Structure 1
Amino acid sequence: MGVAAVIAPAAAFFAIGGDVHMTARPAPESEPVVVGDTMPCCMEIVAAAAMTPSIGQAGFNAAPDRMIAASRYRTVDRSLPVGIAPERGLQVKTILASRAISEAFPQIPSIGGVRSDALRWHPNGLALDVMIPNPGSAEGIALGNEIVAFALRNAKRFGLQDAIWRGVYYTPGGAQRGGYGHYDHVHITTTGGGYPDGDEIYFR
């Protein structure tokens, strides 16, 4: 009499990951982005492969590795690929934020980083300008809001100091409106974490 045993796979699913530019014609300021509850960003996937060993005629003389295959583990590469921002001169937390945003939002056309500025954030590799396609459209505004929410959810991991979008200044402690500009891009400032030495691996 044949017996069929099915071992169902088990899987853990992952969730994912300073300067002021005024427009020529100031746009109305937005309501602050509200960050909802999310799952942790950096869970590792470990899946068991499904197996249906047939005992039947082989009986108990079959090789143990064929009969008692519990699970198979696969290695998951959790490293983030290089993003779209030029990384030269960026500090490690800024690079992590840039790579994570590039991966999470592939529709972003460009991310600016180090540049000359009267304030220290961009020249010192502490800031990013995440450019928003069609920033005045409903879709563009929604995308900017999503990026701000993503940055705030990952504030500790990114060493987030602040984000600025559509006249609102965001910090991990809250948001405030009033004359902050940034209507075509989301400005993100990190605490830096020092300059890379070339051996860093940035994880999701």
Structure 2
Amino acid sequence: MGRHSVAKTRRKSPAAVAAAVAPAAVFLAVAGDAYQRVAREEPKPVAEVAEELAPNVEIVAAAPTAPAPALVISHASSNAAPNPAMAAARLRVVDRTLPAGVAPESGLQVRTILVARSISALFPEISNIGGVRPDSLRWHPDGLALDVMIPDPSSDAGIELGNRIVSYVMANATRFGIQDAIWRGGYYTPGGGRQGGYGHYDHVHITTTGGGYPTGSEIYYR
């Protein structure tokens, strides 16, 4: 055939074939083993996952399947002007201070003033209450007594009005510091009363324990 001839295919030795095949087998074995390890790995509990991810992840419970009730939240604006009608409906302010009544208060002591103002506020029928005046006894000169003049004192309405005023001051004897009251011959004290011979048919006489003279800064309440 001359010089040129077809090259014969050189057979590889068994050792060479084994050397070429071995790396692929090792790769497949390693890959298969890794696959098996991943497939067999158990899932971690939620608590462990949370620890690994903390503090960037928070594990929360799933929302309930039923819809939650509506929650209405009203945010008040600091710039919003108050609604006078709404404020009046929600808040009723009661002024309990007692203004000066019909009695002249000059020379009266504080508890006597409180009684005089309270009677003026509660009994508008009374238009004249006497206070400090000269007397042989010390009660009026010292600002401890009042004379509550009763309109038409001998009429049924006048008598009933005087009775109500006596009942009122005796019911509040502790707060008013009442010593006594005299009306239509009766003498009344916080401990009881007695009848006969005490006069005072046209006015209710009221005596208090005083409490001292005012300084001008007092506020009197109902």
Q: For the superposition of Structure 1 and Structure 2, which TM-score range results when normalised by the shorter chain? A: 0.5 to 0.7
Aligned-partner residue type, residue 133 of structure 1: P
- Tell me what 1:83 maps to: 101
- Tell me what 2:165 maps to: 147
Higher-Rg member (1/2): 2
- Tell me what 2:48 maps to: none
Q: Which runs of 5+ in 2 are unaligned?
A: 1-69, 78-85
- Tell me what 1:180 maps to: 198
- Tell me what 1:21 maps to: none
Per the normalisation by structure 1, the TM-score is 0.66
Identify which of 122, 136, 141 aligns with 1:104. Answer: 122
- Tell me what 1:63 maps to: 74
Query: 1-side partners of 2:72 and 2:126: how far apart?
Result: 59
Are residue 189 (structure 1) and residue 207 (structure 2) matched? yes
Query: 2-side partners of 1:96 and 1:61: how far apart?
Result: 50
User: If each structure's helix is expressed as a fraction of its own residues, which one has the higher value?
Assistant: 2
Deviation at 1:178, TM superposition (A): 1.8
Kindly provide the CA deviation profile for residues 45-84 of structure 1, in whole angstroms up to 9, marking residues without a partner as x. xxxxxxxxxxxxxx75662459xx9x94444321101010
Query: What is the percent sequence identity of the aligned residues?
Result: 66
How large is the RMSD of aligned CA atoms in angstroms? 2.0
- Tell me what 2:49 maps to: none
Aligned partner of residue 140 in structure 1, secondary structure: helix
Kindly provide the CA deviation profile for residues 111-132 of structure 1, in whole angstroms up to 9, marking residues without a partner as x. 0000000000000000000000
Task: Quickly say closer, same or farther: Cα 1:195–1:62, change in 2 above 3 A.
Answer: same
The count of corresponding residues between Structure 1 and Structure 2 is 143
Per the normalisation by structure 2, the TM-score is 0.61
Are residue 199 (structure 1) and residue 195 (structure 2) matched? no
Query: 2-side partners of 1:61 and 1:120: how far apart?
Result: 69
Q: Superposition pairs for residues 128-167 of structure 1, below 5 Å?
A: 128-167=146-185
